[in-house]
Amino acid sequence: MNKDVEDMEEAFRLVGELDDDDEGPPDPKRRRRVVAACSCVLGNETAERLAYYGLQTNMSLYAKQFLGYPAARATSLLQAWKATVYLTPLLGAFLADAYLGRFAVILIFSTLYLAGLSGVTAVNVAPSLRPRLNQPPAGGSYGPTRGAFWAFMYLIALGSGGIKACVSSFGGDQFREDSARERAWRSSFFNWFYFCINVGSLIATLVVVPVQESHGYAIGFAIPTALMGAAILVFLLGAALRVYTYVPPEGSPLRRIWGVAAGAVRNRKLPAPEGPEELYEPAPGEGRLKFRMAHTDRFRRLDKAAIPAAPAGTDDASEAARAPRQVSMTEVEETKALLGLVPIFLCVCIWQMAYDPVFTLLPLPGDAMDRRMGPYRIPASSISFANTFGVLVSVAAWDLAVAPMARRRGRPISTTARIGYGYIVAFVALMSAGLIEVARYRVVRTSGLLQRWEAAVAADPKADYSAPEFTQPMSIWWQAIPYFLLGASETLTNVGVMELFFTEVSEGTRALGSSINLLTTAVGTYLAGALNTAVAAATARDPWVADNPLYGRYDLYFFVNAGILALGYVAFLLVARNYKAKPHPHAHAPAHAKGKGRKSGLELTATIADPPAAGAGAGELRSRWRGGDGATPRGVDANALQARALDPL
| Residue 521 located in a structural domain | yes
One domain, residues 228 and 88: yes
Domain edge (last residue) among 296, 314, 334: 334
CATH assignment at residue 550: 1.20.1250.20
Q: What is the mean pLDDT of residues 513-521?
A: 82
Phi, psi of 585 (to 5 degrees): -55, 135
Mean pLDDT, rounded, of the chain: 78
Q: Are residues 558 and 511 in the same domain?
A: yes
Return the pLDDT at 310: 60
Same domain, 113 and 172: yes
Residue 629 domain-assigned (yes or no): no
Average of pLDDT values for 102-130?
Answer: 90
Q: Buried (b) or exposed (e) across 290-316, using 16+ Cβ within 10 A? A: ebbbbbbeebeebbbbbbbbbeeeeee
Phi-psi region of 552 (alpha: psi -120 to 50; beta: other; left: phi over 0): left
* pLDDT mean over 195-211: 84
Q: Residue 263 belongs to what domain range? A: 253-334
Return the exposure string of 381-399: e unless at least 16 CB atoms fall within 10 Å of the residue's CB, then b.
Answer: bbbbbbbbbbbbebbeebb
Label each residue of 11-62 as H, E or C: HHHHHHCCCHHHHCCCCHHHHHHHHHHHHHHHHHHHHHHHHHHHHHCCHHHH
524 with 447, same domain: the answer is yes
Averaging pLDDT over each range in 240-249, 439-448, 558-567, which range is the top one? 558-567
Mean pLDDT (whole number) for 157-176: 87
Task: Examine the domain organization and report whether 159 and 219 are in the same domain.
Answer: yes
| Mean pLDDT calculated for residue range 474-490 | 92
Q: Would you say residue 633 has pLDDT above 60?
A: no
Number of domains in the chain: 2
Q: How many whole angstroms separate alpha carbon 116 and alpha carbon 94?
A: 22
Give the pLDDT of residue 29: 86
- Beta pairing class for 372-373 and 369-370: unpaired
The mean pLDDT value for 448-467 works out to 78
Assigned domain for 136 exists: yes
Q: Is residue 522 domain-resident?
A: yes
Q: Residue 53 domain-assigned?
A: yes
Statement to judge: residues 500 and 517 lie in one domain: yes
Of the ranges 55-59, 137-141, 632-636, the best mean pLDDT one: 55-59
Looking at residue 619, its pLDDT comes to 37
Cα separation, 207 vs 202, in Å, equals 8
Percentage of the chain with pLDDT > 70? 82
- Tell me the per-residue pLDDT of 376-408, one tens digit each, with 9 for 90 and over: 787 787 788 888 889 889 988 988 888 888 888
Domain end (from 578, 611, 639): 578
Q: What confidence tier does 319 reach under pLDDT thresholds 50, 70, 90?
A: low
Answer yes or no: do 115 and 153 share one domain. Answer: yes
Whether residues 237 and 276 share a domain: the answer is no
Residues 364 and 294 in one domain: no
Q: What is the pLDDT of residue 296?
A: 83
What region does 615 belong to: left with phi over 0, alpha with psi -120 to 50, or beta? Answer: left
Averaged pLDDT, 121-133: 83
Question: Is there a single domain that holds both residue 343 and residue 320?
Answer: no
Confirm whether 591 is domain-assigned: no
- Mention every residue, 6+ apart, whose C-beta is less than 8 A from residue 197: 45, 46, 49, 391
Region 50-79: mean pLDDT is: 83
**What's the confidence (pLDDT) of residue 111?**
94
| Bridge partners of residue 376, in order along the sequence | 373
Q: What is the CA radius of gyration of the chain?
A: 27
At residue 425, the pLDDT reads 95
Question: Residue 516's closest CA among 355, 345, 356?
Answer: 345
Question: Residues 127-139: what's their mean pLDDT?
Answer: 75
Distance CA 276, CA 293 (A): 11
Q: Is residue 603 part of a domain?
A: no
- pLDDT for res 530: 87
Instruction: Give yes or no for residue 479 having a pLDDT over 70.
Output: yes
Distance between CA atoms of residues 561 and 39, nearest Å? 38
Identify whether the C-beta of residue 325 lies closer than 8 Å to the C-beta of residue 259. yes
Per-residue pLDDT, 285: 67
Q: Tens of pLDDT along 579-605? A: 887 765 443 433 333 333 333 333 333
Residues 6+ apart with CB under 8 A from 118: 225
Top-ranked range on mean pLDDT: pick from 246-255, 569-578, 599-608? 569-578
Is a pLDDT exceeding 90 seen at residue 560?
Answer: yes
Q: List the single range of 44-58, 88-102, 212-226, 595-609 with lowest mean pLDDT.
A: 595-609
In a shared domain, residues 326 and 203: no
Which of the residue ranges 29-38, 277-286, 339-348 would you say has the lowest mean pLDDT? 277-286
Considering 334, 360, 382, which residue would you say is the last residue of a domain? Answer: 334
Asked whether residue 216 falls in the same domain as residue 363, the answer is: yes
Confidence of residue 522 (pLDDT cuts 50, 70, 90): confident
Mean pLDDT lowest among 137-151, 161-175, 482-496: 137-151
Share of the chain above pLDDT 90, in %: 20
Q: What is the pLDDT of residue 65?
A: 82
Among 368-377, 475-484, 576-585, where is mean pLDDT lowest? 576-585
Residue 637 maps to a domain: no
Average pLDDT (302-325) is 62
